[in-house]
Amino acid sequence: MSTITHDIDVSPEPEPRIPPPSTGGTWHVTWHGVRTVAALELRQRVRSTRWIVALVVWFVVVGGITLLTSGAIGYLTGAAPTSVQRGPLLFAAVVILVLGLGLLVTPTLSSTAINGDRNAGTLATLQVTLLSPAEIVLGKLLAAWAASLAFLVASLPFLGLALAMGGTPILSFVLVLLLVAVLLACVCAVGLGFSALVARPAGSTVLTFLMVATVTIIAPILFVVTLPSVSSESEIRVWATPWDDSSDGMAEECRWETTTETVVHTERTWWLLGANPLVVVADGAGVAMNDRSTVDPLGGIRTGIRYLRAGSPPEVDRCYSSATTSPVEEYDPDASPVWPWGLGVNVLLGAAGAITAVRRLRVPQHKLARGTRVA
C-alpha cells in the first residue's frame, strides 16, 4: 500500500494589523471632533463648583480694586478732575489688573488638561475613538480658552466704567479685548504643551507659570542687567552753551560741540521687552504718541518702548541760552508698532505648545515617561 503524504504549512499566520484609532491621521481636524471634546471639557468645568467660586472671587476682586482705584485717582487728581485725566488712568489700571490676574489664572486652566486625564484613566478613552490627536488638543484648547474668556467677560463692566469716564477711544477698548484674548489663548496652548510633556500635573503647572514669568518678569530683568554690556563710549554732537573764559560765565550764544560720552544702545536689547504681554497691550491700545493732552500710562509704555527700540539720539540739545534758536530737531523714534512682533512671539510659543501636545498624543506612542498611566 502506498502512502500519500502532503506538505502542510504550519507556519504561524501573521497577526492582523490594528488600524490607528483615527481614520484621518494625526493632524486630521473636523469641527465636529473639536466641538465634541470642547463640550466634554466645558461640562466638567461647569459641574465643578471651584470654577464657579473662582469666577465669583474674580468679579469681586476686580470690582473692589477698580472702585478703590477710582477713588484714589479722584483724590490724587484733585477735587474736580477732568474726565480726560481720570478715564485713561482708570482704564490703564483696570487693564493691567485684568491682564495680570489673567496670566495668573489661565495656566491652571490648561496645564493639567492632558496629564490630569491620563492619571484619571479618561484620556485613553478619547484616544481609542475616531478623534484624532489634533482634535483632542484643539478641543481642550478651545475649552480652556473659553473658560479664560469667561474671566475676561466678567471684567467688562469695570472696563466699561473706565471707558465711560472719557478720554479713552473706543478703538483702544476693542484692541485691549482682542489682544488680551489672544494672549490668554497663547498661555492656554503653552499649558497644554507642558501638560502633555510632564506626567505630574503639579510639574506642568509650575513649568507653565515659569514660562509666563520668563516673558513677563525675567526678560525685563535681563534687559536691565544687560544695560552695562550694551553701553559704550561714543562721540555725539551736542548743541550746548560754552563756557566763556573772559567773563567766567556761560556764553550767550550756543554752538555745536563734539564730545565723548557713555551711550546705552538699547536698540540691541529692546526685544527683551517687546514680548511682554503688558507691552503688547499697551503698544496696541495706548493713546497716540503725539497726544500730549492725555495722561495715559498705556501710552507712556508705548512711547517708552519705541524710544528704547530707536536707541540714543544722534544729537542732543543742552543749550540753556534763550538768545539762540536750537537747530536740534525733536527726536521722534520710529512710529511703526511694536505689538505685532511681541504678539508674534507669544503666538509662536503657543503654537509650539499645541504642536508638542499633538505629537505626544499620537497612538502608538513609542516612549512614555516613567510611571505614566496608559489606561
Domain identity same for 217 and 261? no
Q: Looking at residue 64, what is its pLDDT?
A: 93
* Residue bearing the bigger pLDDT, 182 or 12: 182
**Beta strands 315-318 and 231-240: pairing type?**
parallel
Residue pLDDT, tens place only, 247-306 = 555 556 777 778 787 888 898 999 999 999 999 999 988 655 445 556 788 888 998 899
How does DSSP assign 204-272, residue by residue? HHHHHHHHHHIIIIIHHHHHHHTTGGGEEEEEEEEEE--EETTTTEE-SS-EEEEEEEEEE-GGGTTHH
Q: Are residues 103 and 199 in the same domain?
A: yes
Beta strands 243-244; 249-250: pairing state: antiparallel
Query: Does 82 or 344 have the greater pLDDT score?
Result: 344
User: 175-189 burial, b if ≥16 CB within 10 A, otherwise e?
Assistant: bbbebbebbbbbbbb
End-to-end Cα distance, the chain: 62
Give the total number of structural domains in the chain.
2
* Domain, as residue range, for 102: 31-224+340-360
Residue 157 and residue 283 in one domain: no
Residues 171 and 86 reside in one and the same domain? yes
pLDDT per residue as tens digits for the range 198-233: 989 999 999 999 999 999 999 999 999 999 999 888
Any idea which of 5-19, 47-61, 84-98, 360-374 has the lowest mean pLDDT?
5-19
Q: Are residues 66 and 205 in the same domain?
A: yes
pTM (predicted TM-score): 0.83
Of residues 190, 314, 217, 349, the one with CA closest to residue 273 = 217
Please provide the average confidence, as pLDDT, over all residues in the chain: 82
Does 200 share its domain with 278?
Answer: no
270 assigned to some structural domain: yes
CA–CA distance, 354 with 190 (Å, rounded to integer): 7
* 296, 212: one domain: no
Q: What is the pLDDT of residues 141-193, one digit of tens each?
A: 999 999 999 999 999 999 999 888 888 889 989 999 999 999 999 999 999 99
162 and 181 in a single domain? The answer is yes
Q: In the chain, what percentage of residues exceed pLDDT 90? A: 43
- pLDDT at residue 80 in the model: 47
What pLDDT, on a 0 to 100 scale, did the predictor assign at position 326? 66
Please name the residue that has the C-alpha cell 491652571.
Answer: 108
Based on the fold, state whether residues 165 and 74 are members of the same structural domain.
yes
Tens digits of residue pLDDT in 115-130: 988 888 888 888 888 8
Instruction: Check: CB of residue 302 under 8 Å from CB of residue 193.
Output: no
Same domain? For 126 and 260 the reply is: no
Judgement on whether residues 91 and 208 belong to the same structural domain of the protein: yes
pLDDT at 373: 57
Which grid coordinates belong to 334? 520710529
> 115: Cβ–Cβ under 8 A, 6 or more apart, which residues?
195, 196, 198, 199, 200, 201, 204
Res. 19 pLDDT band, cuts 50 70 90: very low
